[in-house]
Structure 1
Amino acid sequence: MRTVTVVGASLSGLYAARELRAQGFDGRLVIVGDEPHRPYDRPPLSKDFLTGRADEDQLALTDAEETGELDAEWLLGTRARGLDARGRTVLLDGGRTVSTDGVVIATGARARRLPGDDLAGVHTLRTLDDARALRTELTRGSRQVVVIGGGFIGAETASSCAALGHTVTVVEAAPLPLVPQLGAEMAAVCAALHRRGGVDLITGTGVAGLRGTVAVTAVELSDGRTLPADIVIVGIGATPNTGWLAGSTLALHDGVLCDDGCVTSLPQVVAVGDVARVGGARAEHWTSATEQPRVAVANLLAGHTTRTVRSLPYFWSDQYGARIQFAGRRQDGDTVRITEGELTDGTPPEDGFLALYERNGRTTAVLSMDRPRPFMRARRELTRGESEARQEPAAL
């Protein structure tokens, strides 16, 4: 390959560029990004950046020295508009094109929106520009904040708003937040953090609409209640950025469909990060975005799938002064056993806890709150157990 184009100046896009150079690619490297910013770290946007404990320069993932070492052409503030059927030309804004031998798709995902969310005071939190706008509003005195969605972004943002002294309510349509990730029992424990942080949590009801003419004034719930609001933060998930690939031959279904090695239906095109559905699953987590590029680039340079992604799913979340860490593959029906700490009426203790998910005598996942060292030990054991299970001969 003489030219490789990375579409998406994201965390996964940057890691792919690094891997290309590390794995010996010395040709032309083009990095296309629709934002004007060089790659930055997104997790702090809902936490330290929002509360003012971190500035923009602390979010940067590259410096001048690394930029020089990558020897890449950066096309920032430039949106990709299409990929030709053979995957050899990337179409850009304004009719420009990049002829290429290989493509890494790293276009990530965009925040889902609600009808009427064009009112002033309504925010999503996905990009640096989103975080800038929200941080500015949060500095204008005490406000009534309604967070729609109790997932990780919603919970972290609610925590930050509460820390800044605002009155915060979280609205979650499901009976509990985070049930798909943690299961009902542990989701209830984590939901208690909202109460501990002085935040109201309303569950089991959706949002019927937003009130306001120019600026938002209230949130109407599907059960008839109305919540006054100066600021509304919509955290109802994300949609993979695949619209620009319409008309290409790539298979698209809630992301770019890839095999277990991040390779698409075109061997010269791979996908990584939030936009990639690898082996049937799409993972919107920092670890996936940083681990997938090594495998994807190896397969891209080889011209076919030689390696597969085998990392254990892992994510973390910082909420109300507590760090939640989870690793593994939980399934419905797994039992949960608390091995460290004590839960009182489902309330997490101040010093945290460690829980193991188990099925048929095997540990399938591990969850901790403020127990980082025991968690890391359990995570290592879980990884070792998965590796041994893969090596066991299949039953006759």
Structure 2
Amino acid sequence: MTTLNTITVVGASLAGLRAVQTLRGAGFAGEIVVVGAERHLPYNRPPLSKSMLRGDDEITLPGAEELGDRWLRGRNAVRLDTAGRLVTLDDGTQVRYDGLVIATGARPRPLPDALEGVHTLRTVEDALALRAELAAGHRRVVVVGGGFIGGEVASTARSLGLAVTLVDAAPYPMSGVLGDLASRWLAGHHRSNGVDLVPGRRVTGLEGAGRVSGVRLDDGRTLPADLVIAATGVVPETGWLRGSGLTLDDGVVCDAALFAAGADGVVAAGDVARWPHARYGGASVRVEHWANANEQGAAAALNLLAGREDATPYAGLPAFATHVHGVRVQTAGLPHLADEARVAAGDPEEGRFAVAFARAGTLVGVVGVDAPRDFVRIKRAVAAGDPLESVLAASMG
């Protein structure tokens, strides 16, 4: 096995930062090189669609100043040579490694037409540009995509007194993540807070001369718009890895311990990593949320130090949360794998409830709406692989 004298971390956001901190905390005394596309200190991305749009710029991650011996800011990796163990950067610099952590995250899917007033949201610069637009008095805001980012931006824009239309291809916002019951509740919640919801429709193009003036839908309608936010999901940042020999399939394909398939001495973590989840029978998953990046960055670093033979499989339970119009929505596990969903606490009519999801009678996920205690209780049962009936019985008791 190659001696790890130099570890290079490509990606200086949450997963990359946690990898560096973990390497040092585990006693790694060699050189750490960090390559980051942004010039900022690593920061929290969740506030970009919420508090930062309202003027709060405190988003730097604790410990961000602890990055490695060499931190190459404002540099993109453009090529990986796994045979020579070299990462080539956009300025031609070549960075060698004995061990490599890939933590390059993901990039937003843009809308097809580039017009002024059309925004995506992934970076500090994106948030600052959108904040200025929201403050400029553009009254007709169209958000395309009803997922986490779209829902949060719609909520923030409404809190600023703007008229918001939310277009989503699904029949209910976040139905693929929350399931039918909670996503139906969410649709009603958006509407009761003044959002004009347009479900089951796709955007076919934009209108405008220089600046956007309308959004064309697949049913022939055109929605008037002064400001458009594209929140249609992200694409793993793997373009620089083409030709490297790594297996790429909607992310970097890894084994259960986060070692990348196709090369030695390479691990991946965060939004870019796809791995077989042992808790779910080896189902291949890629998770795009904060807790996963936080935990995987650390796990990948420890496994890199341990080596493939002595590595520990990563089976962290996916969990994330969002705030929409003042209500906290939490999910854990993989509800989309379920063949049954039951209200396990509370009442959707009252806006406080938890839904338990099961497959073949075994819990696989939970969604909570303003029900933190019930959510935590059921989340523990999901992590333990308990039967659905056990949480239903506890709720009845």
**Structure 2 length-normalised TM:** 0.90
CA contact (8 A) 1:8 1:107 kept: yes
Q: Which of residues 70, 73, 80 in structure 2 aligns to 1:73?
A: 70
Question: Following the alignment from structure 2 to structure 1, what is the Cα–Cα distance between the partners of residues 65 and 156?
Answer: 32
CA distance in 1, matches of 2:69, 2:187: 45
The alignment yields a C-alpha RMSD, in angstroms, of 1.7
1:78 Cα offset (Å): 0.7
Q: Distance in 2 between matches of 1:300 and 1:87?
A: 18
Alpha-carbon shift at residue 177 of structure 1 (Å):
2.1
Task: Describe the superposition over 1:148-184 as per-residue Cα deviations: whole angstroms up to 9, x where unpaired.
Answer: 1111111111111111111000011122221221222
Task: Give the 3 Å change call, closer, same or farther, for CA 71–178 of structure 1 in structure 2.
Answer: closer
Question: Structure 1 CA distance, aligned partners of 2:363 and 2:92?
Answer: 53
The match for 1:125 among 97, 121, 137 is: 121
Question: Secondary structure in 2 aligned to 1:95?
Answer: coil
Name 1:287's counterpart in structure 2: 291
Tell me, in whole angstroms, the C-alpha distance in 2 between the residues paired with 1:76 and 1:379. Answer: 39
Task: Confirm or deny that 1:325 pairs with 2:321.
Answer: no
Structure 1 runs of 4+ aligned residues shifted over 6 Å read: none
Q: CA deviation at 1:253?
A: 1.1
Hey, what does 2:99 align to over in structure 1?
102
1:275-354 to 2 correspondences below 5 Å: 275-279=272-276, 280-305=284-309, 306-331=311-336, 334-344=339-349, 349-350=350-351, 352-354=352-354
Q: Residue by residue, what CA displacement relative to the aligned partner does 1:370-392 show, whole Å, maximum 9, x if unpaired?
A: 111221122123223369xxxxx
Mapped to 1, the partners of 2:53 and 2:318 lie a distance apart of 27
- Whether 2:201 is the aligned partner of 1:205: answer yes
Range moving further from structure 2, 370-379 or 104-113:
370-379
Question: What are the superposed Cα offsets for residues 187-208 of structure 1, whole Å, 9 maximum, x if unpaired?
Answer: 2112222112110110111112
Aligned to 1:394: none
Mark the CA change 1:339 to 1:386 in structure 2 (over 3 Å): closer, same or farther. Answer: closer
What is the CA–CA distance in structure 1 between the aligned matches of 2:105 and 2:156, rounded to whole Å?
24
Q: Structure 1 unaligned runs (5+)?
A: 388-396
Q: Which moved more, 1:106-115 or 1:84-93?
A: 84-93
Distance 1:100 1:332 in 2: 39
Residue 7 to residue 222, structure 1, CA distance change in 2 (3 Å) = same
> How far apart, CA to CA, are the structure 1 residues paired with 2:372 and 2:180?
23
User: Residues 316-345 of structure 1, C-alpha deviation per residue, up to 9 Å, x if partnerless?
Assistant: 11111000001122245533222332233x
Runs of at least 5 residues in structure 2 that lack an aligned partner in the other structure: 277-283, 388-397
User: 1 CA distance for matches of 2:210 and 2:296?
Assistant: 43
The one-letter code sitting in structure 2 at the alignment partner of 1:39 is P
Q: How does 1:79-94 map to 2 (within 5 A)?
A: 79-86=76-83, 88-94=85-91
SS in 2 for 1:340: strand
Structure-2 change in CA distance of 1:87 and 1:24 (3 Å): farther
In structure 2, distance between residues paired with 1:129 and 1:187: 31
CA distance in structure 1 between the partners assigned to 2:88 and 2:332 by the alignment: 39
What CA distance in whole angstroms lies between the structure 2 residues aligned with 1:378 and 1:209? 43
Q: Residue 192 of structure 1 aligns with which residue?
A: 188
1:38–1:76 Cα contact (<8 Å) kept = no
Q: Larger deviation: 11-20 or 189-198?
A: 189-198
Alignment of 1:346-385 (within 5 A): 349-350=350-351, 352-385=352-385
State whether residues 103 and 269 of structure 1, in contact with CA within 8 Å, keep that contact through their aligned partners in structure 2. yes
Matches of 1:386 and 1:90, distance apart in 2: 45
Mapped contact 2:43–2:61 kept (Cα < 8 A): yes
2:357 corresponds to which letter in structure 1? Y
Percent identity, please.
49
Q: Which residue of 2 aligns with 1:391?
A: none
User: Number of paired residues?
Assistant: 375
| Structure 1 residue 353: Cα displacement | 1.3
**Separation (CA, whole Å) in 2 of partners of 1:207 and 1:373:** 39
Deviation at 1:87, TM superposition (A): 5.8
Q: State the match for 2:391 in structure 1.
A: none
Say yes or no: does 1:274 pair with 2:271: yes
Taking the aligned partners of 2:128 and 2:336, their CA distance within structure 1 comes to 38
Q: Which residue of 1 aligns with 2:392?
A: none
Q: Which residue of 2 aligns with 1:152?
A: 148
Task: Find the aligned partners of 2:68 and 2:170 in 1 and give their Cα distance.
Answer: 48
CA offsets, 1:213-243, max 9 Å, x none? 1100111111111111010000111011111
2:167 corresponding residue in structure 1? 171
SS at match of 1:41: coil
Q: Does the 8 A contact of 2:337 with 2:364 survive in 1?
A: no
Q: How does 1:41-60 map to 2 (within 5 A)?
A: 41-52=44-55, 54-55=56-57, 58-60=58-60
Q: Give CA deviations for 1:103-149 in whole Å, capped at 9, x if unaligned.
A: 10000000001211x21100001111111100011111252100011
